[in-house]
Amino acid sequence: MSEPYLKPLPETSIDSLPYWEGLKDRRVMLQRCSDCGVVRHYPRPMCGECHSMETDWIEATGKGALYSWTVAHHPFHIGFKAELPYILATVDLEEGVRIQSQLLDVDPADLKLGLKVEVVFGQARDDLVLPYFRAVE
Partner 1 sequence: MADSLNGKAAITGIGETEYSRGADKSAIGLMLEASLKAIVDAGLKPNDIDGVIPYSLGPVGEEIMTGLNLTDVRFSAQTPMGGASPVAALQCAAAVIAAGVCKNVLVVLGRRGSSDSRVANRIAAMPQFRQISEFENPIGAIAPAQLYAPMATRHMALYGTNEDQFAEVAVAMRNHALLNDNAVMKKPLTVEDHHASRMISTPFRLFDCCLESDGGTAVIVSGADRAKDTRAPVTLLGVAEGHPDSPSTITQRPDLMTLGLAKAAPRAFEMAGVTHADIDVAQIYDCFTYMVICELEDLGFCKKGEGGAFIEGGRIRLGGELPVNTHGGLLSQAHIAGMNHIYELVRQLRGEGGRAQVEGAEIGLVTGYGDLGDGSVAIMQKAA
Cβ of residue 21: shortest distance to partner 1, in angstroms? 14
H or E element, residue 99: strand 98-104
Q: Buried b vs exposed e over 18-32: b needs ≥16 C-beta within 10 Å? A: bbbebbeeebbbbbb
Cβ of residue 70: shortest distance to partner 1, in angstroms? 4
| 3-class secondary-structure state, position 37 | coil
Does 11 bind partner 1 (CB under 8 A)? Our answer is yes
Q: Residue 82 gets which letter from DSSP?
A: G
Query: Interface with partner 1 by CB under 8 A: which range of 26-34, 51-59, 125-133?
Result: 125-133
Cβ of residue 77: shortest distance to partner 1, in angstroms? 5
> How many residues at the interface with partner 1, by CB under 8 A?
40
Query: What residues have CB less than 8 Å from 63, skipping those under 6 apart?
Result: 93, 94, 116, 117, 118, 119, 136
Residues 37 to 96 in contact with partner 1, rule: CB under 8 A: 41-42, 67-74, 76-77, 80, 83, 85-86, 88, 90
Q: Residue 112 gets which letter from DSSP?
A: -
Among 35, 98, 118, 135, binds partner 1 (CB under 8 A): 98
> Distance (Å, rounded) from C-alpha 71 to C-alpha 53?
37
Cβ of residue 11: shortest distance to partner 1, in angstroms? 6
Q: Contact positions toward partner 1, by CB under 8 A?
A: 7-13, 16, 41-42, 67-74, 76-77, 80, 83, 85-86, 88, 90, 97-102, 108, 112-113, 124, 128, 130-132
